[in-house]
Amino acid sequence: MDVYHLPAIEPEVDKILSHYFRHTLDGYWPERIEYLDKRYTTLPFPFPEIEHPGFSFRTEWTLYQLLGFLDSWSGTRRYLSEQGEHPLDLIQEALQHHWGTPEHKRSITWKLHLRAGRVKKRG
């Protein structure tokens, strides 16, 4: 299964991130991660939905910035707390191999997922 909410960087890095999210941290995520995984489609939504254009966010990060982002994930923090070992240690070498110089900035793009609705007028 694709992980639609992960950033797109480059294919080999994306594979590492997907495996980290889906397998390494499996069982360490809160239940609500399902909402994100399903792009909010299972979130109760009381309004008639309306179409909207697709959105994305783009930035440039170093490897250190990416690792800081991954370190902030609740799944990462819970794994560390329960296992006593940092899960990023399992992927850092592979990420650096595909990233190159850690200070090198790479383009990172996220597809943003949302649901838009229209509130009906009363009366």
Report the C-alpha gap between 106 and 63 in whole angstroms: 8
Closest CA to 12 of 69, 97, 90, 75: 97
What pLDDT is stored for residue 4 in this prediction? 56
Report the C-alpha gap between 116 and 78 in whole angstroms: 32
What pLDDT is stored for residue 123 in this prediction? 65
What pLDDT is stored for residue 1 in this prediction? 42
- The pTM of this model reads 0.85
Residue 24 DSSP symbol:
I
Report the C-alpha gap between 77 and 83 in whole angstroms: 10
What pLDDT is stored for residue 115 in this prediction? 86
Closest CA to 82 of 25, 121, 6, 8: 25
All domains of the chain in start order, with CATH? 11-112 (1.10.10.2560)
What pLDDT is stored for residue 41 in this prediction? 85
pLDDT per residue, tens digit, the chain (123 aa), is: 455 578 999 999 999 999 999 999 999 999 888 888 888 888 888 999 998 888 899 999 999 999 999 999 999 999 999 999 999 999 999 999 999 999 999 999 998 888 889 888 776
Cα separation values, 9 from 3, 20, 22, 48, 71, Å: 13, 15, 17, 34, 17
What pLDDT is stored for residue 72 in this prediction? 96
Cβ burial of 13 (10 Å; 0-12, 13-18, 19+) is buried
What pLDDT is stored for residue 3 in this prediction? 54
